[in-house]
Structure formats: C-alpha cells, structure tokens
Amino acid sequence: EAQVTQNPRYLITVTGKKLTVTCSQNMNHEYMSWYRQDPGLGLRQIYYSMNVEVTDKGDVPEGYKVSRKEKRNFPLILESPSPNQTSLYFCASSLVGVDTQYFGPGTRLTVL
Amino acid sequence: AQTVTQSQPEMSVQEAETVTLSCTYDTSESDYYLFWYKQPPSRQMILVIRQEAYKQQNATENRFSVNFQKAAKSFSLKISDSQLGDAAMYFCAYRSFGSGGYNKLIFGAGTRLAVHP
C-alpha cells in the first residue's frame, strides 16, 4: 500500500530535550516536505527536500533541522524544543512536478 | 508571495442540503493549481478536489464541485447532498505550476464544517 508514515503519532516532551519525528514514504518520491498546522493559520511549510542531500527552508524553519540521507526518509529534528513548537506536524511527499501530494497521518507534539 | 484566504472560520449545513465554502487567493502567476483538502477528526489530510488554473471548466468529484473564477481569484467549494461524514475542517490550498518542480502548498486558515441531522 502506498503511504507516508510518521512516528511518533503523539509526543509530549519538555523544553530543551532534543527529539526527532520520523517520516518515511514507500512511493519512490523525490519531493518531501514538512508542515506544521496551527489554529487560525492553516498549514505552513517548515522544510522541504527535492531529492537526497537536497534540502531547503520553507516559510517557518526557525528551530528545526532536517536531513535527507535516503530517498524514502525525511526526519524532522528539534534540537532544543520550545513551547511555541507545540503543534500538529505533517510530512508530505510527491513526485517532482506532479501536483498531488500524499500526507502522513500527523504527529501531535506538545512541548511543556 | 502568494496568499490564500478562507473568510469563514465555521459553517454549518443540514444533512442533504447544499453548502458552499469560500476561498480567495492572491498571486501574480498565470499558471497554478488549486486544491481543497478535507481534515476529519482523525486529522488525516484528504484531497477532495483539484483545479488547474489553465482549465476553464470547473472540476467536479461526485457531490463536490468548485466554482473557479480566475479573474476574481476565487475558488469556492460546493458540497451537494451533505452527509454527516462531510463534517470536517476544509482547507483551500495553492501550488505554483512551475519553478523547477517546486511543490510547496500554501494553505488557507481552514473552515470547520458542521453537518446537522
């Protein structure tokens, strides 16, 4: 089954404790992206990757890091989480130049 | 920069009735894509319908149709014969057509739709 998976689905952590949210897709997509969803703001892009070892900032990259060492994986790293990073996070993937993106199930992150 | 505006934070409709969700956008591009996504309580993002800006014909998918007005930069979603399962948050989204395959989606703030029996 074609899908985008994210782990964990729920995470409660404390300020300053490094964490990683994993994202994996099995569709051989070149393009992968991270979004955060906040009430009243919709989804905003954090980082994206056009292919292995090619990443770039989106609209709200502060406080986040990403890496793309393998085509299927695109982890989101919060090295020192803060309460303003409490949000719902989505990973998405697609073929480059194709309009339809596939979304993961979301990760609810709470930073205390 | 492109922006997407959904001016209705909440809407409600009676089961079997029709409802229209509004979306406007701002862009200087001539070619682009527009989307409506549904987010039920499960939080999954589900693509409802898509429209290519170069196509004049409005897209339809079963009970879902759009009214795409390119000159007015308007992209509304009409849900006919509303069902209880249509209750969800709906997001309007914009994507540039070119830029080397740049796939970034720009989302509106969302409209929460309630369906009453």
Instruction: Decide if B103 and A48 are in contact by the 8 Å CB cutoff.
Output: yes
Percent of chain A with pLDDT over 70: 99
Which helix (H) or strand (E) segment holds residue B51: the answer is: strand B46-52
Arithmetic mean of pLDDT over chain B: 93
Using a CB-CB cut-off of 8 Å, the residues of chain A touching B43 are 88, 105-106, 108
| Distance of residue B79 Cα from the nearest chain A Cα, in angstroms | 21
Residues A4-27: tens digit of each pLDDT: 999 999 999 999 999 999 999 999
Arithmetic mean of pLDDT over chain A: 94
Pairing of strands B64-69, B24-26: unpaired
Percent of chain A with pLDDT over 90: 86
B102 — pLDDT class (breaks 50, 70, 90): low
Pairing of strands B10-14, B111-116: parallel
Report d(CA A82, CA A100) in Å as an integer.
32
Task: Output the pLDDT for position B31.
Answer: 87
